Structure 1
């Protein structure tokens, strides 16, 4: 089953078949700037990573609710212990 629908081209790719050197240079520059924007946009990359992590955590919670509760309790205990240790070492 082949489809005749065109495959979308990523923003960071240079289209094939450009023969004019000026147009090719413009396309390469546009693709390079898009790639730099994708790599350098740390807040957007962080937001995407956080969204993916939240989706994974929700899927884990749906599969194993008791284990998810235990993980939350363990994480809270670890944070509490770290804060307690820091406060204790700071006060001495």
Structure 2
């Protein structure tokens, strides 16, 4: 059984003595970090998945509070639409 720890793509492992190999690995890690920061759709996807997991956990722990939040959100959207339509028709 191997006890090696898997490094993230953006990490540079310790103990590399060859300067050319170290520069290549640092460049690869830097490019991976830039890709992770610049890839907005992937970041949004990860954030929405985390939000869904938190919402599901909250709903399981507090179903009444979750229902009240949904009702309050629907009322807020309804009030916003009503006020926009009323302002437009005047």
Give the TM-score of the pair, scaled to structure 1: 0.89
Matches within 5 A, 1:48-87: 48-87=46-85
Give the length in aligned residue pairs.
90
Give the TM-score of the pair, scaled to structure 2: 0.90
How far apart, in 2, do the equivalents of 1:31 and 1:91 lie?
A: 57
Unmatched 5+ stretches in structure 1: none
The Cα offsets for residues 32-89 of structure 1, whole Å up to 9 and x where unpaired, read as 0000011111111111111111111111111111111111010011011111112222
Unmatched 5+ stretches in structure 2: none
How far apart, in 1, do the equivalents of 2:89 and 2:37 lie?
A: 43
